[in-house]
């Protein structure tokens, strides 16, 4: 749900202020004074998800010399917290000139006050808004039969107050089909929950969501054996335009596919969306391929050269376990407006996160962990982050904060950042731990893969604990001039070490006094509550509980024997 409209106005150069507060569609105005000249403030647009708020704002006095400050607080609380300043997009051309950004790390279903202020101008707007609830009220339930051997079609919708539930728990539903599709959610179906189904097969795809469907929850399912051929098809697929919005995909085990992406450069995908409406939440899933049944991408789609792109705007991807991908684990390509990716554990993949291009932005990639690499027989050796401009497209702001790149065994990543096409601009990376594997001629790996487009000074790569070779740079603000170069394994606390393929909580942090401990830069809303003299570099602050990832597998089994 997007909230917009006139919010407030104030008089420049006067301390007297009018304020209009919006809560959903209710408009309230307050004022205690008269002012002779009024300058109207333009409304921001706020798009809520469960834990974040995406903001776009084009105030009257916008400009490169004005910073859009963001504060937030719980409704009725006296304490304002600072969020990161909005990014000012002044690229022009097809790009809207405005401020954009997100408030992150919020609570679901909670009312917040948000204050935006231009500095030094003083133009201010205050709003009352709410994050989305992740409790879905349930209405009628369809208990699915125990065995289904052909495509099952969902045609009945629910409402916002009573989701229609299609549940396989009562009869331990197994859908095993050689039809082109296992489950189809029909056009314009909405407010539906699909859960507790074991889905094996689907010659092309597992679950197909047709055009116009929205507010769909897919949870606690086992999906395997889809796309037995060589075509690029998804376990969960929405390739019909317009692909809808507000899909919640959570607590599923997805993999392995029926076919194999090895050696083709294309092939099976776990989640594939095309030109979607966005506002999706993809969280706490276990997504994997295995030898002979590898994924190409895990989360991606088509229309990467459009304003919407694969995942649309304001999509959150977090808490997932992703492995066995011979292309990239996550590809939020296209417009990528207010895309947030955090707390994912990504291992045994060719690439981590790919954004070719990110055209609208910003994109936030924070507190993820990247483990082992896979060398693709088609693409060769991959990288952690890939992005680039492509002609007039791309160059949106990308924030890469507090990630940890592990060298697990002999197959760590060789490259930190890969530039393709026409170079990289507006990439900001701070407080990451970047441990790389040796590359021919580079014993500590390569910071950049393709170095030719990496000398643009709109990039800011600093305050990282890093390895690799940097041979192209910004002359006026050299990369990692405030970072800490290392060779070898960072000094982690021995009691926090992570056990790959065993642990489902990542809580590995730096040892007390080690390089990178307390050496990070303060990033409002991203590392609040740090201990010591400064935030730690890496995905986990020393002494914190870390983060969980993957589906809840305590009562679920993986699908290796389902093929």
- Taking alpha carbons only, the member of 293, 277, 365, 363 closest to residue 325 is 293
Q: What average pLDDT is seen over the chain?
A: 88
Do residues 545 and 242 lie in contact, with contact meaning Cβ atoms separated by under 8 Å?
Answer: no
DSSP assigned state of 111: E
What per-residue confidence (pLDDT) applies to 423? 81
Q: What would the DSSP string read from start to end of 160-211?
A: TTBEEEEE-TTTT-EEEE-SSEEEEE-TT-EEEEEES-EEEE-SSEEEEE-T
Q: Is 333 helix (H, G, I), strand (E, B) or coil?
A: coil
Please, which pLDDT band fits residue 63 given cuts at 50, 70 and 90? very high
Do residues 444 and 410 lie in contact, with contact meaning Cβ atoms separated by under 8 Å?
Answer: no
What per-residue confidence (pLDDT) applies to 546? 95
| 181-193 pLDDT per residue, tens | 999 999 999 999 9
Percent of the chain scored above 70 by pLDDT?
A: 88
**Among 40-49, 121-130, 170-179, 197-206, which stretch is predicted with the lowest mean pLDDT?**
40-49
Do residues 450 and 420 lie in contact, with contact meaning Cβ atoms separated by under 8 Å?
Answer: yes
What per-residue confidence (pLDDT) applies to 264? 61
Torsional sign, CA 287, 323, 244, 366: positive
Domains of the chain: 9-130 (2.60.40.10), 311-551 (no CATH)
C-alpha to C-alpha distance for 533 and 543, rounded to whole angstroms: 14
**Residue 149 in tokens:** 């051997």
**Among 57-66, 91-100, 262-271, 545-554, which stretch is predicted with the lowest mean pLDDT?**
262-271
Q: Is 216 helix (H, G, I), strand (E, B) or coil?
A: strand
Asked if the model's pLDDT at residue 51 lies above 90, the reply is: yes
What per-residue confidence (pLDDT) applies to 384? 95
Residues 357-364, mean pLDDT to the nearest whole number: 94
What per-residue confidence (pLDDT) applies to 557? 46
What per-residue confidence (pLDDT) applies to 230? 59
Asked if the model's pLDDT at residue 561 lies above 50, the reply is: no
| 476-519 pLDDT per residue, tens | 999 999 999 998 899 999 999 999 888 999 999 999 999 999 99
3-state secondary structure 505-556: EECCCECCCCCCCCCCCCCCCCCCCCCCCCCCCCCCCCCCCCEECCCCCCCC
What per-residue confidence (pLDDT) applies to 41? 66
Percent of the chain scored above 90 by pLDDT?
A: 71
What angle (nearest 5°) sits at the alpha carbon of residue 407, between those of residues 404 and 411?
Answer: 135
C-alpha to C-alpha distance for 358 and 87, rounded to whole angstroms: 14
DSSP assigned state of 42: P
C-alpha to C-alpha distance for 551 and 312, rounded to whole angstroms: 24
Sorted by sequence, the CB contacts under 8 Å of residue 168 that are 6+ apart come out as: 143, 144, 174, 195, 196, 197, 198, 221
What angle (nearest 5°) sits at the alpha carbon of residue 516, between those of residues 515 and 521?
Answer: 145
């Amino acid at each position: 749900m997007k909230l917009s409209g006139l919010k407030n106005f104030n008089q420049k150069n006067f301390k007297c202020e009018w304020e209009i507060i919006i809560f959903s569609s209710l408009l309230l105005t307050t004022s205690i004074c008269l002012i002779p000249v009024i300058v109207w403030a333009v409304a921001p647009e706020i798009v809520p998800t469960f834990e974040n708020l995406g903001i776009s704002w084009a105030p009257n006095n916008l400009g490169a010399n004005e910073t859009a400050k963001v504060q937030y607080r719980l409704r009725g609380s006296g304490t304002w917290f600072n969020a990161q300043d909005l990014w000012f997009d002044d690229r022009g051309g097809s790009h809207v000139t405005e401020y954009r950004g997100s408030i992150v790390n919020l609570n679901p279903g909670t009312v917040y006050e948000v204050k935006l202020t231009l500095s030094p101008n003083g133009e201010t707007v205050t709003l009352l808004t709410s994050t989305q609830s992740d409790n879905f009220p349930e209405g009628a339930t369809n208990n699915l039969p125990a065995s289904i051997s052909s495509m099952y079609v969902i045609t009945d919708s629910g409402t916002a107050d009573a989701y229609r539930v299609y549940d396989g728990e009562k009869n331990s539903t197994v859908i095993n089909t050689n039809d082109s599709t296992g489950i189809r959610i029909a056009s314009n179906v909405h407010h539906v929950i699909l859960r507790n189904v074991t889905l094996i097969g689907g010659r092309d795809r597992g679950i197909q969501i047709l055009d116009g469907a929205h507010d769909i929850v897919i949870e606690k399912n086992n999906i395997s054996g889809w796309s037995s051929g060589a075509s690029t098809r998804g376990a969960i697929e929405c390739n019909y335009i317009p692909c809808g919005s507000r899909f919640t995909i959570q607590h599923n085990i997805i993999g392995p596919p029926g076919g194999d992406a090895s050696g083709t450069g294309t092939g099976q995908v776990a989640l594939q969306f095309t030109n979607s409406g966005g506002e999706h939440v993809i969280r706490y899933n276990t997504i994997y391929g295995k030898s002979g049944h590898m994924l190409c991408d895990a989360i991606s789609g088509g229309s990467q050269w459009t304003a919407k792109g694969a995942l649309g705007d304001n999509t959150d991807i977090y808490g997932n376990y992703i492995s066995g991908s011979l292309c990239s684990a996550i590809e939020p390509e296209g417009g990528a407006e207010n895309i947030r990716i955090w707390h994912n554990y990504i291992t045994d993949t060719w690439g981590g996160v790919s954004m070719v291009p990110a055209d609208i932005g910003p994109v936030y990639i924070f507190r993820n962990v990247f483990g082992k690499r896979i060398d693709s027989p088609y693409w060769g050796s991959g990288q952690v982050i890939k992005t680039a401009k492509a002609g007039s497209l791309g160059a949106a702001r990308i924030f890469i904060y507090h990630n940890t790149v592990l060298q697990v065994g002999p197959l760590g990543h060789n490259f930190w950042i890969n530039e393709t096409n026409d170079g990289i601009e507006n990439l900001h990376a701070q407080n990451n731990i970047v441990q790389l594997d040796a590359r021919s001629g580079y014993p500590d790996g390569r910071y950049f893969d393709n170095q030719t487009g990496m000398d643009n000074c709109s990039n800011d790569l600093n305050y990282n604990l890093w390895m690799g070779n940097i041979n192209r740079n910004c002359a006026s603000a050299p990369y990692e001039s405030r970072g800490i170069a290392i060779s070898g394994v960072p000094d982690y606390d021995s009691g926090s070490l992570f056990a790959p393929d065993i642990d489902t909580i990542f809580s590995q942090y730096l040892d007390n006094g080690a390089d990178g401990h307390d050496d990070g830069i303060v990033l409002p809303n991203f590392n609040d509550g740090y201990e010591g003299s400064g935030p730690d570099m890496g995905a986990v602050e020393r002494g914190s509980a870390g983060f969980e990832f993957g589906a809840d597998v305590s009562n679920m089994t993986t699908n290796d024997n389902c093929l």
